[in-house]
Amino acid sequence: RVEQAAEVSHELELDARRLDAALKADDARRAAHREAARLDAEQNRSALALDDAHRRDHLASLRDLGVDLTAFLTQGRADRVIELRSPLGSNGSTHVHLDPSSPGSPRSIAP
């Protein structure tokens, strides 16, 4: 019995060590994934910041040359052109309908 109890105790100890090693390996794997994700995010932020700096420098040099930046940045990209006209006999009142939640949907605004 003593020998059998020692063997069972030894097996339990080995199982506990295996479990502990598996948990440590799993923690190390998760930490490595977190670190890789953090480094990727940092690299993406750096690349975006560099692109932004280049774009700002480019736009600043265009501005210094006298380029109208509003016209340059919006050249031909208007979403829509809205023309408002008052119907004849309406005493000059015009009603506009826009939806604040989604562009282009009706909402009533009376000037």
Query: So where are the chain's domains?
Result: 2-84+95-109
Beta strand residue intervals within the chain, DSSP E? 96-97, 108-109
- For residue 82, give the nearest of 104, 108, 99 by alpha carbon: 104
- Tell me the pLDDT tens digit for each residue of 61-84: 999 999 988 888 888 666 666 677
Position 33 scores a pLDDT of 97
With beta carbons less than 8 A apart as the criterion, state whether 84 and 96 touch: yes
Position 73 scores a pLDDT of 86
Rounded CA separation 5/2 (Å): 5
Neighbouring CB atoms inside 10 A of 45's CB total 10
pTM tops 0.75, yes or no:
no
- Tell me the pLDDT tens digit for each residue of 33-50: 999 999 999 999 999 999
